[in-house]
Amino acid sequence: MQGLYLVTPNWDDTAKLLAVTEQALQAGVTLLQYRHKDADAALRLEQATALLVLCRRYRVPFIINDYTELCVRIGADGVHLGGTDASVAEIRAQLGPDAIIGSSCYGDMPRALAAQAAGASYVAFGGFYPSRVKKYAVTTQPDIVLQAAGIITVPVVVIGGMTPENAAPLVARGADMVAAISSVYLADDVAAAVGQFRALYAGSEIV
């Protein structure tokens, strides 16, 4: 997995969410995560089901943030687990060997190693920069990506205030995917924004 890892914003307007997401998928997204921290169960089901249809159309893997039951219910490709969610090992046992399971590891290399050993499909480091969406301490140092190169064998994702410009040094250090929300969803030209992230991997085959 390499390229742009798109994460959805907290938008209640499903039609708007689908329209912008489709523009991004058309432009070339590697992975899509549905994340809406404020939605109720009915809205989550509505939006996730509709997004899954889009992802199948564009052949992009679709994962759910946190809600494993929702993933199973709609047949999504996997889940992303945060620091307070169930363990990677527990969810791997529940979803089976083919599911995509991501793990937030912040700036914690031992946590990343443990997640990898437990069966994570990828590990996510961050936040690296202040985010307009997620509130967290910006304490992750860029060189953790270099450290990961020698010991982490699953894809490494970087997250937190990502723009094409500030993601570039992290990609240069070896980040496999850049996770973004606002830089795409709030862009004046969504396709151009996706293209700028894809350009970070110019010369590499994006898979």
Tens digit of each residue's pLDDT (9 = 90 or more) over 30-87: 999 999 989 999 999 999 999 999 999 999 999 999 999 999 999 999 999 987 778 9
Above 80 in pLDDT, residue 136? no
d(CA 76, CA 68): 9
d(CA 178, CA 127): 12
Q: Which two tokens stand for residue 170?
A: 């992290």
Share of the chain above pLDDT 90, in %: 86
Number of C-beta neighbours around residue 6 at 10 A: 26
pLDDT value, residue 118: 96
Short-list 111, 51, 113, CA closest to 85:
111
The active-site residue, picked from 103, 104, 131, 183, is 104
d(CA 122, CA 104): 9
pLDDT value, residue 131: 74
pTM of this structure: 0.93
Above 70 in pLDDT, residue 137? no
Question: Is the distance from CB of 53 to CB of 40 less than 8 angstroms?
Answer: no
pLDDT value, residue 207: 41
Q: Which two tokens stand for residue 149?
A: 């190169």
> Which domains are delineated in the chain?
3-199 (3.20.20.70)
Residue 132 annotated in active site: no
What is the tens place of the pLDDT at every residue in 97-132?
999 999 999 999 999 999 999 999 999 999 898 876
Residue 38: helix, strand or coil by DSSP?
coil
pLDDT value, residue 83: 75
Residue 134 annotated in active site: yes
The active-site residue, picked from 87, 92, 111, 134, is 134
Question: Is the distance from CB of 120 to CB of 104 less than 8 angstroms?
Answer: no
Short-list 38, 45, 89, 52, CA closest to 69:
45
Residue 35 annotated in active site: yes
